[in-house]
Amino acid sequence: MTNAGRVRNILFALIQTAAAVYMIAEPADGYVFVAVILSFSLLLMGAKTIIYYFSMARHMVGGKRMLYMGVLLLDAGAFAVSLDSIPRAVVLLYLFISHAFSGVIDVLRVKEAKDSGYPFSKFTLATGIINLVSAALCIVFINSERTAVYIFCAGIIYSAITRIISSFRETRIIFIN
Amino acid sequence: MQLDFHYYATAAAALIAGYDPDQSIKTGFFSQMTDHCSRTFLSGIKAPLNAATTQLMLELMESGSDPVSMQDITRIWASFHFLPADLKAQVKGSILYKSKYRLICGPDGALAGETVRLAKREGTIEAAGLAMHVLADTWAHRYFAGTPSLVINNIGDDLEELIPGEDGFTRRPVKFRHSLTAEDDPENGIYNNSLNNYSEKSVMVLGHGRAGHLPDLSFARYVYMPAWGDYRQVIKDNPKEYYNAFCQMVYALKYLRGEVGEFETGVYDYEAAEPYGLRIKEILEKRQLDACEDWKAFLKENWDVVPGDFDTRAAEKEYTDAPDSKKDDTAIGRFVLAALAQKSMVSGSIFRSGNLLAGFSADPGKGKGIKDFMKLKDYLGRRGTDD
């Protein structure tokens, strides 16, 4: 990673943390913020997919599908942004799916190491359990705005921490001639 | 390729090349070790994690899609399983597209030659085994890249298997499924492959995941349009290519033994393999998911050699029991050094070609580098050379 990339990563992580702390302090505003972020992320995904088509996928056999996907995502994002409010259940279901998937992967990873007779990472196990608990909370409190905000913020803070850690990881290797 | 070819067939190639039975089995063993040496394995024996030569499925799923993780994946898979054929290949497209295109694996590239020469400089049987793995995989994994990429590695639904019959070959469309537990079913043409989630950076589109195990099955012949191929079909004839791989290994191993002066790509020792050719081709063409028993029988018939099952416990014990100062003198210690050297050579070559997909490399002479690779630098220093 370049030094500029490291600085960019750290700055982005700090902004993420600040936004998460603000949303936790003001859950009512925070929920609107979460809904807006999710809507705009759809828009962004659409734009990214279209750029991806023109820069890469147009060379690929069957690559036009990426163009159609990009246009559909962009359209869905524009529709979501135009709505007055997004139902709480939709936001919480989105969070449920992402946490449940990550949690299952972490637990399977630990199981694979254990089955092979190797020591397993307690950090990975803890992360997996936290993710599964978060997923369960999304379902239990499916009508609570606060739950959506807290779980979303926990995800943002976790992402910021991993971003900072990866910025300090040494990534060079020695080459030999 | 699978254990049957990497372990048993490689041992057979070593015997034909003139190695003694013990060295031949070790060559096969450390060729197969390349498919086993994950970070999970290395952490279990407290060996340098950067010497990982493979990643377990869940290690892959756990890794992120950030540039650092992508570079880490590329270093491992491009260095040991999908050696790029031409780092300067010309193609139209953006810089990123070109970078990915240039990592497409294929046999007889400049890096294949460098891999064998590097093993010669290392001079250990463990380095020879590792090099044979890399060399053999250039044949099995050609047309795929050792980096996650939808635009390079994706497979459409046009893939057809060529089934040999009395009147030549018949085409049969392959049916793919995404089951983690079901076995491939060659009889009915049903194979497992990875799910396409239409993401450029997904591990689902790493290497030949989208083509399932077909490239690793020696009997498979198939025709398809590679994602990068501009709608042109390619035919992959595994029995023929695996035989070439075998004969190239014989030639390379003769070079490593000192029987051949220079190693050149594009040279295959058909002559040495010829007395065994019919039997080898028979094994390669047999429609079976695991050819271990046939290769074992081949070794027994011709050399009265019976390798044990692939079991790393003795090597692990030797490594963990050795004091820190002696770990480099153990078999796994030598394999670790060979792996670091190979990863360093390939990643460095990719970096110097102006391609950043495998990340940054530093010249050892400038004293930079991370801890595990300093170990390599120290080793090169002890050997009295920086190359």
Q: Where are the alpha helices (DSSP H) in chain B?
A: 3, 10-17, 21-33, 39-44, 57-62, 67-80, 95-101, 110-122, 125-140, 150-153, 238-257, 270-273, 277-285, 292-303, 313-321, 331-352, 371-382
* A·B CB contacts under 8 A: 143
Q: Is B328 on the interface with A (CB under 8 A)?
A: no
Task: Report the pLDDT value the prediction gives residue A93, as an integer from 0 to 100.
Answer: 78
b vs e for B328-358, b when ≥16 Cβ sit within 10 Å of the residue's Cβ? bebbbbbbbbbbbbbbbbbbbbbbeeebbbb
| Structural domain boundaries in chain B | 3-149+239-383, 152-237
Contacts 24+ apart (CB under 8 A), A151-154: A151/A92, A151/A95, A151/A99, A152/A23, A152/A30, A152/A34, A152/A91, A152/A95, A153/A20, A153/A21, A153/A23, A153/A24, A153/A30, A154/A20
Q: Is B20 on the interface with A (CB under 8 A)?
A: no
pLDDT, tens only, B247-300: 999 999 999 999 999 999 999 999 999 999 999 999 999 999 999 999 999 999
Q: Which of residues 227-256 of B touch A (CB under 8 A)?
A: 227-231
Q: Cβ B58–A109 below 8 Å, yes or no?
A: yes
* Digitized pLDDT (tens) for each residue of chain B, 387 residues in all: 999 999 999 999 999 999 999 999 999 999 999 999 999 999 999 999 999 999 988 788 777 777 888 999 999 999 999 999 999 999 999 999 999 999 999 999 999 999 999 999 999 999 999 999 999 999 999 999 999 999 999 998 899 999 998 889 999 999 998 776 778 999 999 998 888 778 898 888 999 999 999 999 999 999 999 999 989 999 999 999 999 999 999 999 999 999 999 999 999 999 999 999 999 999 999 999 999 999 999 999 999 999 999 999 999 999 999 999 999 999 999 999 999 999 999 999 999 999 999 988 877 655 554 667 777 777 777 776 544
Phi then psi dihedrals of residue B84, to 5 deg: -60, 140
- DSSP at B221: E
Q: Is B95 on the interface with A (CB under 8 A)?
A: no
Q: Cβ B151–A169 below 8 Å, yes or no?
A: no
pTM of full prediction above 0.80: yes
Find the residue in A nearest to B228 (Cα).
A60
The predicted complex's ipTM stands at 0.80
Task: Give burial (CB, 10 Å; 0-12/13-18/19+) of B247.
Answer: buried
Q: Cβ B200–A52 below 8 Å, yes or no?
A: yes
Find the residue in A nearest to B380 (Cα).
A176
Q: Is B55 on the interface with A (CB under 8 A)?
A: no
